[in-house]
């Protein structure tokens, strides 16, 4: 039995890398529109986002879900790679 999860886009990814990737792909404004949580809306920074998401599991799950959605969309056949 292998402990690796090759099909899980979050496997081995830090929360910081996840948030950074979303910001690079969407930008803060688009991210705040999709997930209107305080650190994305008011004076967004990676540090404030990490602090908030580590203390609020439901919002962290929403951010992880958005990342999965974007990664899964990028991996579908014919979808642009980004």
> Measured at the alpha carbon of residue 18, what is the angle toward residues 31 and 9, in degrees to the nearest 5?
115
How many domains does the chain fold into? Answer: 1
54 belongs to a structural domain? yes
8 belongs to a structural domain? no
Helix (H) or strand (E) holding 55: helix 46-55
Residue 49: how many CB atoms within 10 A of its CB?
26
Q: What is the pLDDT of residues 22-35, one digit of tens each?
A: 999 999 999 999 99
Instruction: Give the CATH number of the domain where residue 54 resides.
Output: 1.10.720.30
3 belongs to a structural domain? no
80 belongs to a structural domain? no
Rounded-to-integer distance, Cα 57 and Cα 29, Å:
22
1 belongs to a structural domain? no
Q: What is the pLDDT of residues 13-62, one digit of tens each?
A: 899 999 999 999 999 999 999 999 999 999 999 999 999 999 999 999 99
Q: Is the dihedral of CA 55, 9, 4, 46 positive or negative?
A: negative
Range of the domain at 38: 15-75
Rounded-to-integer distance, Cα 18 and Cα 35, Å:
14
């Amino acid at each position: 039995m292998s402990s690796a999860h090759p099909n899980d886009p979050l496997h081995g990814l830090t929360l910081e890398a996840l948030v950074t990737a979303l910001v690079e792909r969407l930008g803060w404004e688009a991210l705040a529109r999709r997930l209107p949580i305080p650190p994305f809306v008011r004076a967004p920074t990676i540090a404030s986002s990490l602090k908030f998401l580590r203390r609020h599991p439901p919002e962290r799950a929403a951010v992880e879900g958005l990342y999965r959605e974007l990664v899964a969309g990028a991996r579908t056949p014919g979808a642009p790679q980004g």
